[in-house]
Amino acid sequence: MISEKMLALGESRSVIRDISEFGAARAQEIGAENVFDFSIGNPSVPAPEKVNKTLSRLLESMDSITLHSYTPAPGMMAARAAAARSESRRAGFDIPAQSVYLTCGASSSLAITLRALVCPGDKIALLAPYFPEYKVFVENAGAEAVVIPPADLSMQPDIEKLKEAAESGIKAVIVNSPNNPSGAILSAETLKTMADILTAASEKKGESIYIIADEPYRELVYDGAQVPYVPGIYPNTVVCYSYSKSLSLPGERLGYIMVPPCAADSEKVFAAVCGAGRSLGYLCAPSLFQYMLAECADEMPDTAVYAKNRALLYGGLSELGFECVKPDGAFYLFVKAPNGMSAAEFCEAAKRFELLLVPSDSFGVEGYARVAYCVSEDVIRRSMPAFAKLALLAAGAARI
Ligand code: PLP
């Protein structure tokens, strides 16, 4: 006997990876230049120069045994301190290194945090649209996901639905701002309203409700948009961060969990994070990258490339008549399927023109497609005639 639950997970495929693999196969058939693959969120700007230079220097200058040794499970103190200093500058209050637990990216940050917080029967609220893997992490921790729909095209949550969920009992809410897949940033006003609701529900229940702030895109913002600092608005927040997008290092697996001292039972929560990391077998983040982090925690991504892509794509698709959520951050455009089409119908229609988009159903909302614009500018420019054909096809068909 093996675990039926894990078997089902292993056999069910991630829609995003499925489409991305289809894109790679299609590129072999018809040439990469003829496929417009907007499926996956792989950064298209290189890692900052200082990151690569530091890695080279570490490899050349450090004793190899030391460089590749195990580190303490939560990470080397110098790397945790560098991440904490950077986080403190953002917070505007002091965050000690002891509040930071280094991980293998946001995925493990989330899996560990949920495992640390969840008790049997707990419910975790997800604000749709949400990163599809949240459901996997929530269910694996033994909790049940409660989906809160967006209020409207602004992609802020339906506050009444959140209130109902909080009053009927939740352990935590996962927030992701800037958001994958919509690029929306949760406004300070939304977060304050959420904080009031969660505080009132916590008091009524006599138990803390946490926000889990999943923030891999917080440095990727446009037109001077500000990402409110969630623990500054709601102290009972655990931050899950990743360098996958901000330092363009998705394959290297580096991120952290930060439990701020202001969070309820912060020391116990941090200890539970250590316990969850241990129980899940996440011993330490890659050591070479921890050494790099100690020197590069404040490096910033070059967002100019994404900003240009965003302007081209949002402007181009809006001109063609597509209704899009204007993204304030991240590198995704959320496009409404036109003319009453379902997300799947729209994405299938797009495939006819070699446009690879991700249908929104797995993000917890119907009727949209996600276009990942972390691609070259050339791909966006050359894809516009294909989008024009898609607009024509969609306009002519009530149902395809
Ligand atoms: N959370 C969100 C919202 C994401 O978009 C992603 C990856 O795309 C992750 C978490 C996982 O990131 P990581 O590569 O750091 O595991």
Render pLDDT for 247-300 as a digit per residue (tens, 0 to 9).
999 999 999 999 999 999 999 999 999 999 999 999 899 999 999 999 999 999
CB 235 within 8 A of CB 260: yes
Q: Is 242 in the pocket of ligand 1 (CB under 6 A)?
A: yes
Least confident piece of the model among 15-24, 301-310, 321-330, 353-362: 15-24
Phi, psi for residue 232 in degrees, rounded to 5: -70, -20
What pLDDT is recorded for position 400? 44
Q: Is the CB of 106 under 6 A from ligand 1?
A: yes
Nearest CA to ligand 1 atom 2: 131
CA of 216 to the centre of ligand 1 (A): 6
312-335 average pLDDT score: 97
Calpha distance 217→242 (Å, rounded) = 8
pLDDT given for residue 248 in this prediction: 97
User: Is the CB–ligand 1 distance for residue 176 below 6 Å?
Assistant: yes
- pLDDT at position 42 is 95
Look at residue 398 and tell me whether its pLDDT is greater than 60. no
37 Cβ below 6 A of ligand 1: no
The per-residue pLDDT for 30 is 94
Using the mean position of ligand 1's atoms as its centre, give its distance from the Cα of residue 118 in Å.
21
DSSP assignment of 251-281: TT--EEEE--TTSTTHHHHHHHHHHHHHHHT
Residue 244 Cβ < 6 Å to ligand 1: yes
Q: How many residues does the chain have?
A: 400
- Specify the ligand 1 atom closest to the Cα of 41: 8
CA angle, corner 383, sides to 377 and 386, nearest 5?
A: 170
The DSSP element (H or E) to which 66 belongs, if any, is helix 64-67
> Residue 25's closest CA among 37, 14, 41?
37
CA neighbor of 278 nearest in space, from 116, 146, 158, 125: 116
Portion of the chain with pLDDT greater than 90, in percent: 95
pLDDT tens track for 242-262: 999 999 999 999 999 999 999
Helix or strand or coil: residue 376?
A: coil
Looking at the CA of residue 105, tell me the nearest atom of ligand 1: 15
Residue 17, pLDDT above cutoff 90: no
246 lines ligand 1 (CB under 6 A): no
Beta carbon of 107 within 6 Å of any ligand 1 atom? yes
Ligand 1 center–CA 394 separation, angstroms: 31
Please report the DSSP string for 287-332 in residue order.
HHHHHHHHHHTT----THHHHHHHHHHHHHHHHTT--EE--SBTTE
pLDDT at residue 283, as a whole number = 84
Q: What is the mean pLDDT of the chain?
A: 96
The confidence band for 395, taking pLDDT boundaries of 50, 70 and 90, is confident
The letter for the amino acid at 344 is A
pTM to 2 decimals? 0.96
- Rounded to an integer, the average pLDDT of 59-82 is 97
255 lines ligand 1 (CB under 6 A): yes
Tens of pLDDT along 161-218?
Answer: 999 999 999 999 999 999 999 999 999 999 999 999 999 999 999 999 999 999 999 9
Predicted pLDDT of residue 397: 63
